[in-house]
Structure 1
Amino acid sequence: MTTSDSNRRPHGFATRAIHVGYDPASAHGALTPPVFMTSTYAFETVEDGLAISSGEKPGYVYGRTRNPTQTILETRIADLEGAEAGLALASGMAAISATLWTLLGAGDRVVIDQTLYGNSYVFFTRGLTRFGVSVTVADLTDPDDFAQALRTRPKLVYFETPANPNLRVIDIAAVAAQAHAAGARVIVDNTFATPVLQRPIELGADLVVHSATKFLGGHGDLLGGVVVGSQTDIAQIRGHGLRYLTGATMAPLTAFLLLRGLKTLELRVQRHSASAMAVAATLAAHPAVRQVFYPGLLASPFHPIAARQMRAFGGLLACELSGGIEAGRHFMNQLTLAHRAVSLGDAETLVQHPASMTHAAYPPEERHRHGISDGLIRLSIGLETPEDIIEDILQALEASQQRG
């Protein structure tokens, strides 16, 4: 590195999202990284193959564990999250399961937050427990409750922030410090915030997972997951969790699409966040709305923590209408621009009913205890003109009021 290089200002987020991990000169000058559609790689010699297979020499052996297009994606997302290394997998649940199957064994204990994506919750409470892993559910926004849970001497602590679907915000730095003092490692699901708004590694987390299907991809046209962390952890997850425990390989074309999505990630998340803030303020001021859940609102109990650890407040929000679940259903059915769908982070505004959709796997009594009411509605605010989104929401609210 030259003196001028060492003194150069570090590149910004958007620049790194477009350039890190790829040099056009490595692919005949192609500006866009090529898609390596191959499952198998040839070796120059037997000795060369042995060296690559043993890890003594960099290279590729078989497409299940590594692909050149995937490598660019993994390098780029790790850089954006402030991690040493990354691993791309076939879905968000693949990223979670490959990581946990690698790091845990029979007799280990895990503490999870009480509010998780429905399938994540089922994986912990019904999946891992079948194989001798003990799982403790705690309120990680309550230091005393968390301290009580840590007395079980867990190996790992796992949580989302903001949480799906009610946007609870957990203090990453405080939880990480408390967990590390108890000898536990910390995994954070950063799907809702993305590294544009929040980088848990920088706040003390050991590993970060994403459903890349959501904001990272951003267009509703792929399934993918990523996990980032230390070189040692990621090599272990690749060699065990991906290679033979799950085999949940990301397709080369999916990696290509995710690289495309990352190029506009910062711009998209900024727009999602600005529009969601406007929608949240509109809902909070409307007489048909009982409560709005969005950490960007000053009235939110999570606003101080979110303002400290996030750069903006994201594109997700939730609400409950004064008329309860029936009013909520009528409101959802009256929306004409927004689509009723379970995903999030797409260009389109999406609305869904957690109790009967994404979080139906929770037993009703647990759902209610953990703050996921039957009347809760979750909205993923898209990239449409903000005034059009708000107009659609207002007409649906008026229709639900007239019906009541």
Structure 2
Amino acid sequence: MTKRVLLIIGGGIAAYKSLFLIRVLAKRGIQSRVILTRGGREFVTPLSAGGLSGDKVYTDLWDLTDEAEMGHIELSRSADLVVVAPATANMLAKAAQGLASDLATTTLLATDKRVLFAPAMNVRMWEHPATQRNIQTLRKDGCLFVGPDSGAMACGEFGDGRMAEPEMIAEAIETALKGVTHIDGIKPDMPLAGKRVLVTAGPTREPLDPVRYLSNHSSGKQGFAIAKSMAELGADVTLVAGPVNLPSPLGVTRIDVETADEMLQATEAALPSDVFISVAAVADWRPAARADKKVKKAKLQGGLPPLELVENPDILKTLCQKTSDRPTLIIGFAAETNDVIEHAKAKRLRKGCDWIVANDVSGDVMGGDHNRMIIVTETGETEWPRLTKQESADKLAQSIADYFKA
């Protein structure tokens, strides 16, 4: 079933990002209907918002035609979620006090749906006690928040107040549409609440010289999806990520690394943890020596340069063999191209982990959006159908929650 959001675009320079947000949501299968405030119309036009959303844009509480076609009460309840982006200091103040002076604020007061705010304002306005009081009031009323980010602003100042990027807002919207209410620290009882989870994701890069490296085709998508699913079940998640071009999942602490050695150091530093999920495709070998300068082809004698390799640390095995701080549940991944289950069983015993997630990567798994998981444990194998990587991650997270509940 298609999900719909009612997007209220406030009056701030960040309003242009809301146009990108509409496109990002559309790519995720989420439809947008837009209310454009008077201030918002100073930065973007109804034509732009309407063209991107494919729907009528609403602007005026006193428009007789709009009220006849869809009254503001029905409009306020026509979507699955109300999103305010950018949410200006003025909008937050009116919403916190329950004022209804225009179509946007009347809609916020009349809606029976959850409201997600993406604040955007000058750093001093954000830090002002009045704004912080208004935010606390809205939080107590059950409203959700994403952002703001820290950085340079249009006014020339630097600090908190930049509206979150469209991809991050879209992540928060998807999370809220699932019924999750722990965005921005509002955490109900969740099956993994209180559990610390450590996830590795993506490839590693082992430098040959300043411009060349050894690596693999891992995109990091599966590991990032698992981190997201675990956070949505209430876990405190640390994600150690190799070099990938993916946005951080909402509510997840991310540590970026490049080499296998760096990934091991970051992983050990993140202990203790209740769960360790080793999804990263760590390079098995690295060059024995790294050139300080780019190796020039013209200077090589006899064609190809000699390449001596040494073995990288085995992160999964290292954590499995710990005598202290060993996570209660350690899950490895076995990316295989043949004899998948047999290789996975052998790897589970060889590494000493509790579960192995086996998958056949001979097709489009590495870099693709789908996966077919086989969960190998001491008691047997459970085979799941081909699913999206996020659906696979959700099933794995629920299995982990069931493990701790048993």
Greater Cα radius of gyration, structure 1 or 2: 2
The TM-score with structure 1 as length reference comes to 0.25
Q: Give me the TM-score of the superposition, normalised by structure 2.
A: 0.25
User: Larger relative CO (CA 8 A, sep 6+): 1 or 2?
Assistant: 1
Name the one with the larger strand percent: 2
